[in-house]
Amino acid sequence: MWLLFLSAAAGLSAALDLPQGYAPVPVSCPTSLDWIRPADGLNPAEAEWVQGRKKNVLAALEGYLDRLGLTDFDVEEYLSRINDNDRANVPILGMAISGGGFGSAFTGTGALRAIDDRLDAATEQRTGGILQSMTYLSGLSGGSWPAVSFPAHNFPTADEILDYWKPDIDRIYTVENDTANTATVTTLFEQIATKYIEGFDIGVADYLGRLFAYEFIPGNSGGLNTTFSDIRKLSKFVNHEMPMPIIHLSMIGEGDPEYDDLWVPRANSSIFDVTPFEFGSWDGSVRAFTPMEWLGNRLSNGQPVNDSVCYQGFDRDSLIIGTSADAFNFWYLESISNDTLGQFAKRSSSPPSTLSKRLTAPSDIDNLAIAFNSSFGLNLTEISYSVFPNPFANLSLSSGIAHDSETLNMVDGSETGQTIPFWGQIQPARSVDFILAWDDSQDASPYDWNNGTNLYNTYVAANNTGIPFPIIPPVNTLMNLNYTTHPVFFGCDANLTTTGDDRAPLVLYMANAPYSAYTNFSFWQSATTREQMGEIYVNSFDIVTQANGTWDEEWAECIGCAVVERSLARVGMNRTSQCERCFGRYCWNGQLDETQPGEMNPNLILDPSVGFDEWNATNPF
């Protein structure tokens, strides 16, 4: 495949009629626009939308809680109380899907499917309805693909979206001709060339985004002109029938560690929120936001540098998912350093075993850099980051490179070590009560299961900055207490939070694990058959429902206890004895077990007699 980049460069130079639609569009500058909003409370438009969402959440909660049939819990009284005071006490729920490429994208979608009341099996298991009760859905890297794709497609079911995605098509390695579902390397380069000709920086994020868009983004030519801000116009968003997406990016630049002319972000680098309403950061070097539809305009002290022409359309969905998954700097450093530089918290730190299902990045990844250089005259450093015109320059709310630079360099949010996108949801302004965290960041070496490193990293970051979040035990304890193979709640005891009170959300942590299938497949698995997708969906369903309740017939009720927990005190109700039992079984109580755990290499949890070798002989991924 990588040799195709070289022919793409030659083909591009001969192209006369470039496709339109990817480049930002020049328009007249608005005369009455607040270009900058301080990171103080919610965006008024988001706050209004959240208030509208509460009516739908209330209706969904009624059906969900009625199906649960919680013991000694007066559902009617609870609903009446949270409906008081303009629904001020309706719980705010969210889901966060980790990075992890196609693995996380597909297993996370399977988890989302298991909480959707449009799936009869989920309703029967009484987990259906949690999705309809959620206000936020956040994603990062591979997790950003469903987090953008579902809203962009007007929120279909997980089974319906496979007909849009067509995951069985190999869009990376075998494309020879353009179709409605694929594009050649030459065509992808021609598409991003239109942005370059318009005067904008381009790089690997643009290429990756256009490549992934043919699978995940609706619209002609792989959603060539589909924008993230346009989600606000879709019927299910307008009618508050879907959760609001939040995508995480990380900023990188001068002052960060540098290896072979490439920067690597620090653990405390600024994390940026991308929502249909705005782009910006809550803390760090930027404490401000700019309207999403006007992203792509360079500002100084909150005003356009060039007020005679402004741009719209920079926020293409493909750029958002491409940037969120752009870890080219890490991939390149890995390839030239024998995997000693550019290490993710989610990456293996030792050579993969012969039984590992992960594939490493292509060893000749530098040919992509050669193709960019041949086509556009851009060097390795120029293409490694997603470059955004800086809207935060010369603000009192910004500092460092965000204050001084004309551009911002953005990369895969995983590079900061927080691969589960909690950060936007745990900001106090959003007042989130409960987060279902799906982890498929593959941080357990060498078999690429999960050991909780990224969950723990968010706790450390939250604790260092005073953000309310549950205390998370170290990785050894997470593994020794089997929290990476069976679900666990954190924050049930408000004392076990960074602030020692109930301002922190209660977190349900679910890690991808082999229940009925070995789903630790590669980031770079470029095609997945419908049969394999069926196995992935069933495995995720087994995790969420705990094998249709066979592990614990009260498990569904225990999730319900966590869903309502934070809102109980606000409406003057007490935790029931049933929920006390549930939390006694499933909540971390502060216990530590820091003995050195064994290698993370579980057999099938629902059939331990079947090891990977035996299963893989007839189920190759």
- CA 558/CA 54 separation, integer angstroms: 23
pLDDT confidence of residue 589: 97
pLDDT confidence of residue 339: 54
Contact 93, 582 (CB under 8 A): no
- CA 153/CA 157 separation, integer angstroms: 10
Residue 120 structure tokens:
């009869």
Query: Which of these, 582, 558, 561, 583, lies nearest to 573 by C-alpha position?
Result: 561
Write out pLDDT tens, residues 503-534.
Answer: 999 999 999 999 999 999 877 788 999 999 99
- CA 26/CA 32 separation, integer angstroms: 18
Write out pLDDT tens, residues 83-107.
Answer: 999 999 999 999 999 999 999 999 9
Write out pLDDT tens, residues 246-292.
Answer: 999 999 999 899 988 899 988 888 999 999 999 999 999 999 999 99
Coil/strand/helix, residue 374: helix
Residue 404 structure tokens:
């001084």
What's the chain's average pLDDT? 92
- pLDDT of 17 higher than 90: no
- pLDDT of 573 higher than 70: yes
pLDDT confidence of residue 332: 87
Residue 412 structure tokens:
């895969």
- CA 97/CA 208 separation, integer angstroms: 20
Helix axes 185-197, 2-14, angle to 10 degrees: 50
Where do runs of H (alpha helix) occur along 432-484?
Answer: 453-465, 475-480
- CA 275/CA 286 separation, integer angstroms: 16
- pLDDT of 354 higher than 50: no
pLDDT confidence of residue 3: 45
pLDDT confidence of residue 546: 98
Residues 6+ apart with CB under 8 A from 424: 136, 138, 246, 248, 271, 273, 275, 282, 430
Write out pLDDT tens, residues 400-447.
Answer: 999 999 999 999 989 988 999 999 999 999 999 999 999 999 999 888
Over residues 316-326, the mean pLDDT reads: 97
Question: What ranges do the domains of the chain cover?
Answer: 2-616
Coil/strand/helix, residue 121: helix
Write out pLDDT tens, residues 576-608.
Answer: 999 999 999 999 999 999 999 999 999 999 999
- CA 458/CA 438 separation, integer angstroms: 14
Over residues 479-500, the mean pLDDT reads: 97
pLDDT confidence of residue 111: 98
Contact 371, 188 (CB under 8 A): no
Write out pLDDT tens, residues 146-203.
Answer: 999 999 999 999 999 999 999 999 998 889 999 999 999 999 999 999 999 999 999 9
Beta bridge partners of 27: 310
pLDDT confidence of residue 525: 82
pLDDT confidence of residue 2: 42
DSSP 342-373: S--TTS-SSPPPTT----PPPTTTHHHHHHHH
- CA 554/CA 137 separation, integer angstroms: 26
Write out pLDDT tens, residues 59-70.
Answer: 999 999 999 999
pLDDT confidence of residue 135: 98
- CA 323/CA 206 separation, integer angstroms: 7
Over residues 39-66, the mean pLDDT reads: 98
Residues 6+ apart with CB under 8 A from 595: 476, 480
- CA 584/CA 118 separation, integer angstroms: 31
Over residues 324-331, the mean pLDDT reads: 92
pLDDT confidence of residue 386: 97
- pLDDT of 393 higher than 90: yes
DSSP 37-65: EESSS--HHHHHHHHHHHHHHHHHHHHHH
pTM: 0.94
Over residues 347-351, the mean pLDDT reads: 34
Of the pLDDT bands very low, low, confident and very high (cuts 50, 70, 90), residue 465 is very high
pLDDT confidence of residue 6: 46
First to last CA, the chain: 20
- pLDDT of 478 higher than 90: yes
Percent of the chain, pLDDT > 90?
A: 83
Most distant CA pair in the chain: distance in Å? Answer: 73
The CATH topology of domain 2-616 is Cytosolic phospholipase A2 catalytic domain (3.40.1090)
- CA 489/CA 477 separation, integer angstroms: 14
